[in-house]
């Protein structure tokens, strides 16, 4: 008989964490060995409990989830980290992978995805789930990289400038501005100005002042 997969849960939203625990424990394959709301405590707990998988929320009150991941993967390499987040932010995903996480789940996945993700990373596979689309195995997504000019155009559009204003400020034609705009939308797989603005703010290309 194979032993159960031992999971450590880290999320400071207790009621959310309890719900995730119930989902995992409803399977026959998974045992939750600990649940915490702090990144610092997670590092200590991982070192003591040697869980197979650490399910870690990206945003934690003390040490952020990504830094905690870095320390856990360094100190307890036998524990695979699976990140959990409200957002499918490319930068967070990349940072998490660089810190050693094996998977990244957005909270709009369902319970089956959660279980599949835990099983996958425990087996040493990567797993991406949620707005990113669910892929496991060696599926790697390269980040959408905007050119410097595209970032400039995006910043100005998101600050509310008209195409004419962007063209004048950057010394290019309106057609070129339109063309940049289209490239940005295609690269980022977005569909509207509203999407562009939200992307720009989330990625700190513009800030949210008036």
Partner 1 sequence: MGTIRVLLADDHTVVRQGLRRILETDPSMEIVAEVGDGRAAVEAAERQRPSVAVIDISLPSLNGIEVTRQLAKATPETRVLILSMHADEAYIHQSLKAGAKGYLLKDADDQDLLKAITALHSGGSYFSPAVSKLVLRGYLHESVESADELAGLSDREREVLQLIAEGKSNKDIAHLLDVAPSTVETHRKHLMEKLHLHNTAAIVRFALRHGLIQ
Helix (H, G, I), strand (E, B) or coil at 91: helix
Closest separation between CB of residue 132 and partner 1, Å? 14
Nearer to partner 1, 70 or 128 (CB): 128
The neighbour count for residue 32, using CB atoms within 10 Å, is 20
Q: What SS3 string covers 19-50?
A: HHHHHHHCCCCEEEEEEECCHHHHHHHHHHHC
CA geometry: angle at 72 spanning 66 and 73, to 5°? 90
CA geometry: angle at 110 spanning 54 and 6, to 5°? 25
Closest separation between CB of residue 108 and partner 1, Å? 5
Residue 119 phi, psi (nearest 5): -65, -40
Residues forming contacts to partner 1 in the complex (CB under 8 A) are 12-16, 18-23, 26, 37, 86-87, 105, 107-111, 113-114, 157-160, 162, 191-198, 201, 208, 210
Closest separation between CB of residue 112 and partner 1, Å? 9
């Amino acid at each position: 008989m194979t032993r159960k997969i031992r999971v450590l849960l880290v999320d400071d939203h207790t009621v959310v964490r309890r719900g995730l625990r119930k989902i995992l424990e409803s399977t026959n394959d998974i045992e939750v060995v600990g649940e915490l709301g702090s990144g610092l405590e997670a590092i200590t707990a991982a070192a003591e409990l040697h869980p197979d998988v650490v399910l870690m929320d990206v945003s934690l009150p003390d040490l952020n989830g990504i830094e905690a991941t870095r320390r856990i993967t360094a100190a307890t390499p036998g524990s695979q980290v699976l990140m959990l987040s409200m957002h499918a932010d490319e930068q967070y995903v990349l940072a998490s992978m660089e810190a050693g996480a094996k998977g990244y789940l957005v909270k709009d996945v369902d319970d089956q995805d959660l279980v599949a993700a835990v099983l996958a990373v425990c087996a040493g596979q990567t797993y991406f789930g949620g707005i990113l689309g669910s892929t496991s195995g060696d599926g790697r997504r390269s980040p959408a990289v905007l050119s410097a000019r595209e970032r400039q155009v995006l910043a100005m559009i998101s600050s509310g400038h008209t195409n004419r204003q962007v063209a004048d400020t950057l010394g290019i034609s309106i057609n070129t501005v339109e063309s940049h705009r289209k490239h940005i939308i295609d690269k980022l797989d977005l569909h509207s100005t509203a999407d562009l603005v939200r992307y720009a703010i989330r990625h700190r290309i513009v800030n949210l002042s008036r």
